[in-house]
Each structure stands twice: as structure tokens, then as C-alpha cells.
Amino acid sequence: MADRQVRTGVMAAADAQSFWMSAKIPNDMFQVCGFGGVPADLDQALAAVRQNVAACPELLVRIDDSDSWRYPSWVRCDFADESVVVHELDDATWSGCLNAVRAVAAGDQLDATKQLWRLHVFVGVEGMPEVAGPGTVVVVQMSHALADGRRATALVGRIFGRDQAVPARVEPRLGTWALPYLALRASAAHRRLVQDTESGAVAAPADSWPLQPTNNLPEGPDSLRAVVRHRLQLPGPTVTTGVLAAISEALAAELGGVTALGAEVPMAKTGTRYAYNHYGNVSVALHPQLPFHERAARIDAELAARRQRFEHPAVVASDAASAAVPARVLRWGLGHFDPHARSATVTGNTVVSSVNRGPADLTFGGCAVVLSTACPALSPMMGLTHGVHGIGDTVTVSVHASQSALPDIDSYVERLSATLDGSR
């Protein structure tokens, strides 16, 4: 992208951390949109995308990280032709397209100092769910530094013509000079959290979980699958809870009947957004030993408990202190992070990311969106990840696994599909 050298602001600490960590653990997001049909004029469809992007300044930025003593800056840039890649599929089936998406995700991470997003276009995909004839798949690859799940949904919506505001961040009133005060306030708030926990006013911290094969270092080929259902076909009480309960049953069976099983679930934060990445990860017990509906109710209650603890003033105070850490200190700390270090326990045996991408009002070249999914990233301690993405009345559960973590992904996906269908 051509650089106009116009700085639009300094990155928040949380976003800079995501950017710096991507050098050790790639974390680009791959947001998949499936459209019914094939554009009559692909060039015209891409021109419409260019026009939509031109009207969205939040997409016309890159990162300048040239000053090692300061946090990186957001810099204005122009739309460039390399922001769109049209792929020729060797296997034009839906499963072949998912394989191509996985291959792109494995070997094509963005250089965020040059561009923060890229479109991958696959035309003429046969056998796509919800589509009678050939369809089109467009993948929006995006640096995690630019967005969390909610903000990414808004940005993808703008690319495909949705008229909606993109969540913006608020500059904190206190900077790095206030770190001692903010640290003291965070310490006092933490003591209050301990007291509230001991009194039972706030839920206790989540358990950690013993390692399972799904926590193996990803090795060997990885695979991507997708299970597509209508919302009314999924068990409740919510889509997220119902899918977590189904994952629990299917995964426990695939692992030979284990009973100690947990999931790491990204959870959006409430309150003022001081960073583009306004979320945190919580740990939830999956209770595979319980009957389905009792299990789902327990998972729902655990999510509510995690939310309650997540919203305690101590978490807000801790975030404020972390946001005031000098850039040089945070950069130094991340530089000493060892992605190959192994832990004896984990916050989850899989990751389950759930995002509602809104109404089915996106279009590409006159073709309406029919489904949305993702290729959720693997990491050194997580060889199995799930995405739960809804658009309109369609929900897609994606499963991304390395062979070292899940040797037979198709067996697992069959179990998951059967559990979803048999638990309504």
C-alpha cells in the first residue's frame, strides 16, 4: 500500500501486544464468507469492494513500528491491488475450498507494517451448503492487532456493503506517567476481589485442566471442516452454550471417554473500549459426564459466572494498569516469551470462539451471503480450535485441527454433527 505518512494515532498496549506477539505465534484472523452464486462480472464486484473500502478509513491504515522506545503508530495508507488475491482452485468443491483456505492460513501471514488485511477470492465453488449451484467464497484475512471479533465483524460488513459504525477506541485519560498510581489502585482492587471471592459474592477463579492430546504441539498436516446448521436446528439455551455442550460430548468420546475437560472461550468485555482488542479469554468446564441438557445448563451457568468475575472492578483496574506500561517494558517482556515452553495444565483443551456476524445482508457482485465461518488459529499449546459463527439464520461450526492433536478429524466431526442433531 502506498504510504501517505499521515499518523492517525498511537496503538493501545493491548493492540501492540497482539501485533508483537504475532511474530512468535501467528494470529491473523481468516473470516470466511460464502455467497450464493457467481458474480456476472468479477472485476465489477471487486470495484465495488474497492469503493466500500475507500469509504471506510478504519481499513486504510497500516502500522509504523520504527521507534523501539514508543508504541507503534497507525498510519494512513491507500488501497492497493495486492490487497485482493483471486485464487484458482485445483479442487473446486466446498471441501477443496476449505483446504485452500487452510493452506492460505498456514503460510500467508500479513506484514502489518505494509497491510492489515487482504481479500482471498474463490469463484465457482461446488457443493457449498445452502447453495444449489456454484458459489463464491471470499476470505477476509485480517491482522488481529486491528480488531477483535466484534470489530472485525463490523469491518467485514463494511467491505461487503453494510452501512454500520465500526467500534472505535477511547484514549485513556491517564498515560504511562500514572503507572505507579494505577498499579496501586489495581492492587487494592485485587484485594477486594479476593475478599468478594471468599465471601461468595463473586465466583471463584476457573479451574485449570490436565493436558489432553488436543493440547499437543501442532505437527503434521492440519485440516479444516465446517458443520452448517440453521439456528432452530441447534440445541439451547443459546447457540454458544448448545455448541459447547455438543463439543463436550463429541470430544470426550473421541478422546476415549475423558471426564476432565474444559474449553477456553474468548469473551467480549463490557465498559469503555480503550483498545481495538476489547476481550479476554475465560475457562469453562465442559462436564461431559452429565446428560446433554443438564450439561448445557451447567455450561451456561459457568459462562455467567465467568462474566460476573470478568466484570469485577479489579479486572478493569488491572487493564488500566496494563495499558499504562511503557512500550519498552512491554516489548522487552514479550521478547522473552518462549512459545515453545510447555505447561503441565491449561486453561482449556480446545478453544471455542463464538461471534454473531449479524443479518444476512452482505453481498458480493450481486450474490447474497449464505454462510460465514472461519479458520481459527492453532497455537503451540492448542492443536484443536473451533469457531461458531452465525449470519442470518445460519450457524457454522468450524473445526481446525492438527494431525498430532486429532488424528481423525472426520470421525470427530461426525460425532459432533450427530450430537448437534440428536440433542434438540
Bridge-based pairing state of the strands 384-391 and 350-356:
parallel
| pLDDT at residue 167 is higher than 80 | yes
**Phi, psi torsion values for 315, nearest 5 degrees:** -70, -40
pLDDT digits (tens, 9 = 90+) for 234-288: 998 999 999 999 999 999 999 999 999 999 999 999 888 999 999 999 999 999 9
* HSE toward the beta carbon, residue 105, CA cutoff 13 A: 28
Mean pLDDT of 94-121: 95
62: which strand partners?
Answer: 75
Q: What percent of the chain stands above pLDDT 70?
A: 98
Q: From CA 106, how far away is CA 109, in angstroms rounded?
A: 8
328 sits in which H/E element: helix 327-335
CATH architecture of 176-354+383-422: 2-Layer Sandwich (3.30)
> What's the rounded mean pLDDT across residues 58-64?
97
Same fold, 3-159 and 176-354+383-422: yes
Q: Which band of pLDDT confidence, cut at 50, 70 and 90, is reported for residue 173?
A: confident
According to CATH, what is the number of the domain 3-159? Answer: 3.30.559.10
- Identify the three-state secondary structure at position 352: strand
* Residue 369, pLDDT above cutoff 90: yes
Dump pLDDT digits (tens) for 386-413: 999 999 999 999 999 999 999 999 999 9
Integer Cα distance of 175 and 349 in angstroms: 37
**What pTM was estimated for this model as a whole?**
0.95
Q: Rounded to whole angstroms, how far apart are CA atoms 216 and 195?
A: 37
Distance CA 158, CA 404 (A): 38
pLDDT class of 175 with cuts at 50, 70, 90: confident
pLDDT recorded at residue 208: 94
Average pLDDT over residues 98-123: 95
What value does the mean pLDDT of the chain take? 95
> What does the domain layout of the chain look like in residue ranges?
3-159, 176-354+383-422
Query: Does the pLDDT value for residue 31 go beyond 80?
Result: yes
Q: What is the pLDDT of residue 81?
A: 84
Q: Which residue has the higher pLDDT, 424 or 69?
A: 69
Can you point out the beta strands (E) in 195-287?
Answer: 209-210, 222-230, 262-268, 279-285
Comparing 107 with 163, the larger pLDDT belongs to: 163
- Nearest 10 degrees: Cα torsion 36, 40, 43, 46: -30
For position 4, what pLDDT does the model report?
46
At residue 265, the pLDDT reads 98
Q: Dig out the grid coordinates for 326 from the structure.
A: 511503557
How far is 329 from 308, CA to CA, in rounded Å? 31
- Name which residue leads in pLDDT, 332 or 81: 332
Phi and psi at residue 337, to the nearest 5°: -70, 130
Give residue 7's pLDDT.
67
Q: CB of 346 within 8 A of CB of 29?
A: no
**Tens of pLDDT along 305-361?**
999 999 999 999 999 999 999 999 999 999 999 998 999 999 999 999 999 999 999
